Chain A
Amino acid sequence: MKGNLVTLAGLTNNTTGSVILTGQFSLQGVTTITVPQGMKLKIYRFAASGNAINAQLLFTPNINASSPTWYPLDQITMTAAGDDIHEYRARPIVVYGELGTEAITVQYSQPSVGGTLISVVTELTEQDDKEE
């Protein structure tokens, strides 16, 4: 099954926090994207645009834990206003939903309040092969 390419994006609104991500199909923004059991989340692009920021793309194996442990997948550091795009066309970052509790989030810190757009291009597909 081919999945849906969905761009999730959100503007920062503080000096630290988690980005509220919204995208196509999505009625409300969320700070975590879970991966259902038997599916995988492919991440093709992680980008920031706007004010200086340190943004981390993070993964947890168990979003249901009382305080989930987050592991880094990627990081964007901009010391001044501008753009930074990390693209993975041939080999996307893949998060497998083995238990249905896996999730990603984007956390950030920045010297001034808000003003940076964070976007993550994702595809949620079934785990028909695990060789990627």
Chain B
Amino acid sequence: MEIGPNSLLIVELPAYGTFLPFKVIDVTNMPYDELDYSPLPITTSTSLGYFTPTVPPGAPLTAPQTGVLPPMSYTASPVRFPLQNAFDPSDMFYFESPNNKLMVIELFVQPKFIRVMPEIPIGNIVASYENTIFNIGGSIQVNVGDFTGLASTGFKRGYSLVVQLPKVHYGYLFGNDTSLTVYTSGKIRYYDLRVAAPSSSEVLDAFKGKVKEVEFISLPMPTTETVISNVLNTYYGTTGVPFAAVNQSQIANFIKPLADKIGGV
């Protein structure tokens, strides 16, 4: 993925039925966008769960070493990425200002088979259908968005991509559903963006496929969250443009409060 100045970033919020359109003014950290973060912030106090029906005999209930995941284990509670001297040393991605700052964060995990699932905000697992069990045709059951199931889905392996909103802590769950005890590590690629409100015609063109440089990134929170709603209203003056607002004047109405908060182009 490449995000450059003058491109569009459409942040989709399915829980709200809305999207937030942004025009990228600058990527302030280019080309120094990569950070080796090793090992993953799994510590000896990180409690573990197991994909197996019962905890295997002798299996540790916390990580045996920093960054280590035993066979069939996952982090039972979400982890953050600490970094000394960051705005919040317990969470390097957390920021509060300026209003027109956004971060897009890609996480590449080694080994690549490690399950990765973000939580937005922390404690709220990302999935379209959290903990929903679909009974397909009365015969097959699939756990959708339930990270802890051996046969669950809703996670990515070795990768995650999120848009970091201001004043929100995100969490990450990691899982190892192999028979190996693995050392984990990660590489972070982040885009430190300065954004503005785009024009309504640009937004419409993006949905028509007429804009070349546009990224659509969804934050698939299963439910609306007070923390997120507060941030959206405080920082952007709106919870987003409803997906139903399909014509230019309607989109313009919703973009206006956004432009008032972060500036428009």
Contact = CB atoms under 8 A, between A and B. Distances in A.
Q: Are A and B subunits of one complex? A: yes
Interface of A: 1-4, 6, 23, 25-28, 30, 32-37, 39, 63, 99-100, 103, 124-126
Interface of B: 64-65, 68, 71, 110-113, 150-151, 157-159, 177-184
B150 A27 contact: no
A1 B113 CA distance: 9
Contact of A26 (B64, B159, B180): B180
B79 to A, nearest CB: 19
B178 A34 contact: yes
Contact of A4 (B111, B150, B151, B181): B111
Nearest to B69: A27
A6 B68 CA distance: 17
A48 B157 CA distance: 32
Given A3-B112, A4-B110, A124-B111, A33 B180 contact: yes
B181 A28 contact: yes
B260 to A, nearest CB: 42
Contacts of A30: 71, 179-181
Q: Chain B binding site: helix, strand, loop or mixed by DSSP?
A: loop
20 contacts: A4-B113, A23-B180, A25-B110, A25-B183, A26-B180, A26-B183, A27-B68, A27-B182, A27-B183, A28-B181, A30-B71, A34-B178, A34-B179, A35-B178, A37-B150, A37-B151, A99-B151, A100-B150, A124-B178, A125-B112
A4 B112 contact: yes
A23 B181 CA distance: 10
A32 B177 CA distance: 13
Contacts of B184: 25
Nearest to A35: B178
Contacts of B71: 30
Given A25-B183, A27-B182, A34-B179, A2 B112 contact: yes
Contacts of B64: 27
